């Protein structure tokens, strides 16, 4: 069984891209996921596709908390220097936005989310985010 559940914070704002041939939406981002030991974290690459990718790019930004359910995918490619590189990503199948920030924070930007923008979702205020 290949199933992953993560809760972490965005290390930078997610960027929405589209595949060249079919124009399918995709976003790749890194989550900082805390370890049980204090002051340690793992930085995990996550890939989201379709409407999930669009929602993440529109409503989440650096420092925001998100829950991800997905699966681990490994791959490899040849680098520009000719060496073989290996990748490990989590492909998101479900996401849950756990943090939106303050209501008026960054009002007017494409990546800000406000509670009235998303029906039925109540924002969680964790106070000041340390990064």
Contact yes or no for 123/103 (Cβ under 8 A):
yes
Q: Summarize pLDDT for 54-77 with one digit per residue, the tens.
A: 999 999 999 999 999 999 999 999
Is the overall model pTM greater than 0.75, yes or no? no
CA 62 to chain centre: 9
- Between CA 44 and CA 90 the distance in angstroms is 8
Tokens of 107: 């009002």
Name the CATH superfamily housing domain 4-117: Nucleic acid-binding proteins (2.40.50.140)
Which DSSP helix (H) or strand (E) runs through 93? strand 84-97
């Amino acid at each position: 069984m290949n199933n992953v559940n993560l809760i972490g914070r965005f290390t930078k704002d997610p960027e929405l891209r589209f595949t060249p041939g079919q124009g399918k939406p995709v976003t790749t981002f890194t989550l900082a996921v805390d370890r049980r030991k204090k002051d340690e974290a793992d930085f995990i690459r996550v890939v989201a596709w379709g409407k999930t990718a669009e929602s993440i790019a529109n409503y989440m930004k650096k420092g925001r908390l998100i829950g991800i359910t997905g699966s681990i995918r490994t791959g490899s490619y040849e680098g520009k220097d000719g060496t073989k590189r290996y990748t490990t990503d989590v492909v998101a199948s479900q996401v849950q936005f756990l943090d939106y920030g303050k209501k008026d924070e960054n009002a007017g930007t494409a990546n800000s989310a406000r509670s009235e923008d998303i029906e039925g979702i109540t924002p969680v205020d964790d106070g000041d985010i340390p990064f």
